[in-house]
Amino acid sequence: MAEDLSEQLNKDIHECVFFSLQFDESTDVVDTSQLCIFMRIVFKDMSTKEELLKIIPSKGKTRDEDLFQTFSDFVNSTQLPVKMAYLKILMGHLHWLAESDAMPLLEVSNKIKAFRGKTEIWRMRVLNGIADMFPQLTEFWDTNKLSVELVRNPIRCHLTSLK
């Protein structure tokens, strides 16, 4: 059953136009701090869906840094939509590949070299906490008062792997 839910969530993520993440930190009846992560998904027809992604018991304190680390660990252990949004945006920069059959090989080669150059610039900018080359993610982070720190390492690793 859990596998079916995971598959449905992945399908929804791929079909959505927008999504947002919501967080709630609370303490349960036995005084254990926990972080609840919710996701709201908006589809092309403007219908919406809300899902509880995870309730994660927090270890230790509940300072912002601790909650951030809890969420960061969750991001790193799952295919969370933040990564999916980044990948969707990155694929948007590669739209010309769909037309590559009609391009001369030299032009495709030059475009690939140019894209590799872009990824190195992006990697350096992400390392410096700048993500304005991903405007949809930046808007998402600004709206939800998040930071590029949230996905800096996964994005940096991914851009490095594109070399």
d(CA 66, CA 10): 27
C-alpha–C-alpha distance, residues 63 and 69, integer Å: 10
SS3 57: strand
Per-residue pLDDT at 73 exceeds 60: yes
Helix (H) or strand (E) holding 88: helix 81-92
Q: Is the predicted pLDDT of residue 100 greater than 70, yes or no?
A: no
Q: Rounded to an integer, what distance in angstroms lies between the CA atom of residue 135 and that of residue 77? A: 25
Query: Do the Cβ atoms of 119 and 162 come closer than 8 Å?
Result: yes
- The predicted structure's pLDDT at residue 102: 63
pLDDT of residue 99: 57
Write out pLDDT tens, residues 41-54. 888 898 999 988 88
pTM of the model: 0.48
Is residue 22 left, alpha or beta, with left meaning phi > 0 and alpha meaning psi from -120 to 50? beta
Domains, the chain, in order of start with CATH, read 1-79 (3.10.450), 80-163 (no CATH)
Residues 6+ apart with CB under 8 A from 3: none
Distance CA 154, CA 127 (A): 11
